[in-house]
Structure 1
Amino acid sequence: MALLNFMRRDTAAPVTGGLDDLLAGYSIEVMPRTAEKVEDFRDILPRGTRVYIAHIDGTEIDDMVATAAKIAGEGFDVMPHFPARSIPDAATLADWIARYQGEAGVTQALLLGGGIATPRGDFDNSMQLIETGLFDKAGFTRLHVAGHPEGNRDIDPDGSDHMVMQALRWKQAFSERTDARMAMATQFAFEAQPIIDWADRLQAEGITLPVHVGVAGPAKLQTLIKFAVACGVGPSLKVLQKRAMDVTKLVLPYTPAEVLADLAGHRAARPDSLIEQVHVFPLGGIKTAAQWVTENTGAAGLPARRAANG
């Protein structure tokens, strides 16, 4: 195991507030091919938004780094995915880190197992990426990991969450002995209660990593169901299936309004909740998602250009 030189971090203060507060500071996800369709992210996103860059298996690292450089150059915090099973060895990981840092000034990463079942090389999970010590050596200050409120059958095929919880305890221990700023970005879900119950359970078991709740942005119902099945969304999928049976709702686009209202209510009642903010999966398009958030928040949600112009 590599020596990890991150120093012990300070504990963040709890957050409070309603829907505006929950959506303020939201993060959003893009892929290189969707980022190409956005002329300037300052036209659609608030200043300082964290933009995750999803690394879908088969995407060239050149495209990933170019996307990171473009978005960072427009003034946004960039957090690229590092999918463990798609990275063949430590030399490749070191090269990716150096390129992201040298060409785009990146100092934060989302570490995850990745979407393929069989590893391409030496890595199978995010803990192995951390253990290389390469992110520490490069001076990365923020490391996010994946969270699974409804379980993950790729990790726990038996339907339990034994392996997922074991990994979370490891990551919690790592966060306690370092100054790496960590959080869990969760898979998107369509119902608030499973997320709330999961966050409460983690807290009861001594997990204190902040939770950035994944929600699906506005999209056609058929599109969401397709993505939900492909991504292994759990029991909350029934919310979409029930909606699909209602002809009056079938033609209306889904929005995360109900989920977010429930989460905001919970956090207002429980200011010590692990739920810190929202991470948006723009399954119906990034411009559509960003516009919806802007329309449902106050001035803090204004795109960077519009805010700068008053």
Structure 2
Amino acid sequence: MSAASGRGARAFIDACSLEVSAKAMPALIAEAARIAPGTMISIPYLASEDDDARLAAARTVRALGLQPMPHLSARRIGSQAALERFIARAVGEAGVEQCLLIAGDLATPAGPFADSASLIETGLLERAGIKVVAVGGHPEGHPLMSDAERWQVLERKCQSIQARGMAPKIITQFAFDADIVLAWLDALRARGIGHPVLVGVPGPASVTRLLRYAAMCGVGASAAMLARYGISIGRLLGTAGPDVFVDHLVGGLSETHGPVSPHFFPFGGIAPSLDWLAQYRQRSVAGTRL
């Protein structure tokens, strides 16, 4: 690793964020001393957790000196009043300043919101004091939209967020192929979309667990993709970390890609992900001394 690439890798890793569910808050508390103050903690909207659990998680994250980013799942929100109540409590009780909007996985919406754009259009976010609104990016494509539709929707959402005085941010699903992510970033910036991007990175976990989450989340996991990630499809009993993926991603990033940082999904647990981050930082520092 060259000195320049070592510095780039360290800066990339130091800007990381983490995805932590409400039920994993005890593990986050146990490891909080190892996490840089102000790190963004994304709190997913899980069907098995209610608003009280998500709000308690946001309060915990804030109390630890970290930045909570709760998800809002449009199709699972029963009414505009419920949305307004949740946002007001998140801002008032946990100092929430940013959130991630997703459509959600229900075929039929539980209330008036069919997609994340409809949440933006309520005006509730900016009136409550939300400053940053994240939306999803899809380097591997979207199952329900063509490529042209996918770009149009992303552009419209970012423009709507900005028009309402908030800052857009784009968070991608995790991936196994850095070339696909880099190509998507090239296309994103070529379209003039310069907002910060958080690239989903799977934390170290057993190979079988990684494959299970890939199937659940619709992430491409062909034998060729896994080989580029460093996983042999014939050896599924071990664990895998994102070293190859992150090295390739960092090596392909340039100033033209603008602000890009890693967003870790700690599938194998928070402590192993933090262990990996510490080891990667050490390797990056060593690389700058070569």
What TM-score results when the alignment is normalised by the length of structure 1?
A: 0.83
**Structure 2 counterpart of 1:120:** 110
- Note the alpha carbon deviations across 1:87-130, whole angstroms, 9 max, x for none: 11211100000111122111110111123332111111111101
**Structure 2 counterpart of 1:253:** 239
3-state SS of paired residue (1:245) = coil
1:65 correspondence with 2:55: yes
* CA distance in structure 2 between the partners assigned to 1:118 and 1:236 by the alignment: 31
* CA distance in structure 2 between the partners assigned to 1:225 and 1:241 by the alignment: 13
**Structure 1 counterpart of 2:12:** 22
Q: How many residues align?
A: 278
* CA distance in structure 2 between the partners assigned to 1:85 and 1:206 by the alignment: 30
**Structure 1 counterpart of 2:266:** 282
* CA distance in structure 2 between the partners assigned to 1:295 and 1:193 by the alignment: 24
Query: How far is the alpha carbon of 1:244 from its aligned partner?
Result: 4.2
3-state SS of paired residue (1:194) = helix
Conserved 8 A contact 2:91-2:129: no
Fraction of identical pairs, as percent: 34
Larger helix fraction of residues: 2
* CA distance in structure 2 between the partners assigned to 1:202 and 1:273 by the alignment: 9
The letter of the residue matching 1:151 is G
1:86 correspondence with 2:76: yes
* CA distance in structure 1 between the partners assigned to 2:225 and 2:186 by the alignment: 22
Question: RMSD of the TM alignment (CA)?
Answer: 2.3
**Structure 1 counterpart of 2:288:** none
3-state SS of paired residue (2:71) = strand
3-state SS of paired residue (1:151) = coil
1:37 correspondence with 2:37: no
**Structure 1 counterpart of 2:256:** 272
3-state SS of paired residue (2:37) = coil
3-state SS of paired residue (2:19) = strand
The letter of the residue matching 2:107 is A
Query: How far is the alpha carbon of 1:85 from its aligned partner?
Result: 0.8
1:208 correspondence with 2:198: no
Alignment gaps of 5+ in structure 1 = 1-15, 302-310
**Structure 2 counterpart of 1:143:** 133
The letter of the residue matching 1:111 is L
Query: How far is the alpha carbon of 1:235 from its aligned partner?
Result: 5.8
Query: How far is the alpha carbon of 1:239 from its aligned partner?
Result: 2.6
- Note the alpha carbon deviations across 1:21-64, whole angstroms, 9 max, x for none: 11112000011111133444423322221000111124111111
Query: How far is the alpha carbon of 1:178 from its aligned partner?
Result: 4.7
3-state SS of paired residue (1:206) = coil
* CA distance in structure 2 between the partners assigned to 1:41 and 1:129 by the alignment: 34
1:217 correspondence with 2:207: no
Query: How far is the alpha carbon of 1:162 from its aligned partner?
Result: 3.3
- Note the alpha carbon deviations across 1:65-91, whole angstroms, 9 max, x for none: 111111110100010001111111211
**Structure 1 counterpart of 2:151:** 165
What TM-score results when the alignment is normalised by the length of structure 2?
A: 0.89
* CA distance in structure 2 between the partners assigned to 1:70 and 1:245 by the alignment: 39
Q: 1:258 to 1:202 in 2, by over 3 A?
A: same
Conserved 8 A contact 2:195-2:259: no
Query: How far is the alpha carbon of 1:172 from its aligned partner?
Result: 3.1
Pairing partner for 1:186 from 147, 172, 177: 172
3-state SS of paired residue (2:281) = coil
Q: 1:175 to 1:86 in 2, by over 3 A?
A: closer
Moved more, 218-227 or 96-105: 96-105
Query: How far is the alpha carbon of 1:236 from its aligned partner?
Result: 6.0
1:197 correspondence with 2:173: no
Conserved 8 A contact 2:27-2:270: no
Conserved 8 A contact 2:31-2:271: no
Q: 1:19 to 1:53 in 2, by over 3 A?
A: same
Moved more, 61-70 or 231-240: 231-240
- Note the alpha carbon deviations across 1:157-206, whole angstroms, 9 max, x for none: xxx32332221120232255354222111000011000111111122222
Alignment gaps of 5+ in structure 2 = 1-5, 286-290
